[in-house]
Amino acid sequence: MSRVNELERQLELLSPEELAEFRRWFAEFDAHLWDRQLEAPGWRIGAALSVNRKSHPKIPNYSIQNIPRDPGTTWAFEAGFGVSRTEGPTTFALDVAFQPIWSDTWQVAVSTDAANSEGRLSIGDRSIENDFVFSNLLLRSGIEHAVDWARFQAGLEIRSYGYTLEQRNWVDTTRRDQDEAWVEWTPTFGLTAALGSLDLRYGLRFTHGTGRPGIASTGDVSLAALEAGDFILAPGAPLTLVDARVVTHQIAVVIPVR
């Protein structure tokens, strides 16, 4: 008979009070083992949780997907977990974050909407409601290796975006459902050179994705758009999606200040 089977037999003989005491002891014992694992040399672990709520006012409508940009509320959450391991001159790290978002927007009925609704709506009622559910996932990993005066880095970032839209039009009593998803991934490379009292750093990033939204060019330039500053102007041309690949070079010089 194994030691586990013998222990099971002994547990079956415990009274309810003794079993409750054993549960408390085992919970503390198991937690202590987990703590000892985290305290192992070279290991680091971390977690993060955030909650955000935004109440947004009406901004100008966009022709992209023909969704009105009206008042609404948004709840955004993020839960992340990361772990790293250092052994000698090499460090490896991995972190994952999940970002669920719920957003509700609506359009307020005007006199035209009330008239076209055949009595279903009054001025001020919600004529269109949009319910978004986003499920975004972020995965990042990287490795660094130090050799004498230099450190070499390589990493990969993957972002997965997905959302569903449920749009209800109370003017003509129609409903529209839409599902969208895409993935963007970015390999990165870096080099840090220690030159005396300063560090010279170089970074290279390649960003790939399914495309970037834009609008078809009409050949005209709007002076209002040039002078808008921080104001958001609604595009007036059809939506286009252009394949995108972004290459970024970054050079930095770090000088200590004493």
List the pLDDT tens digit at each of the 258 positions of the chain: 567 677 777 877 878 777 777 877 777 676 565 555 566 788 888 888 899 988 877 666 555 555 555 688 889 999 999 999 999 999 999 999 999 999 888 888 888 888 888 888 898 888 888 888 999 999 999 999 999 889 999 999 999 988 888 989 999 888 988 888 888 899 999 999 988 888 899 999 998 886 666 655 555 444 444 444 443 444 455 556 667 788 999 999 988 876
What confidence score (pLDDT) does residue 111 get?
87
Cα distance between residue 130 and residue 104, in whole Å: 6
Helices (H), 71-145: 111-116
Element housing 18 (H / E): helix 16-38
Torsion-angle region of 105 (φ positive above 0: left; ψ -120 to 50: alpha; else: beta): beta
| Sign of the alpha-carbon dihedral angle for 192, 83, 136, 181 | positive
Q: What is the pLDDT, as a whole number, of residue 69?
A: 56
Whole-structure pTM value: 0.66
Per-residue model confidence (pLDDT) at position 10: 80
Displacement of CA 54 from its chain's centroid (Å) = 16
Position 200 scores a pLDDT of 93
Sign of the dihedral through C-alpha 171, 174, 175, 180: negative
DSSP 149-216: TEEEEEEEEEEEEEEEEEEEETTTTEEEEEEEEEEEEEEEEEEEEEETTEEEEEEEEEEE-S-EEEE-
Q: Report d(CA 89, CA 174) in Å as an integer.
A: 62
CA dihedral for 61, 64, 68, 72, sign (positive or negative): negative
- CA–CA distance, 249 with 68 (Å, rounded to integer): 38
CA distance 118 to 110: 13
**What integer pLDDT is reported at residue 226 of this predicted model?**
43
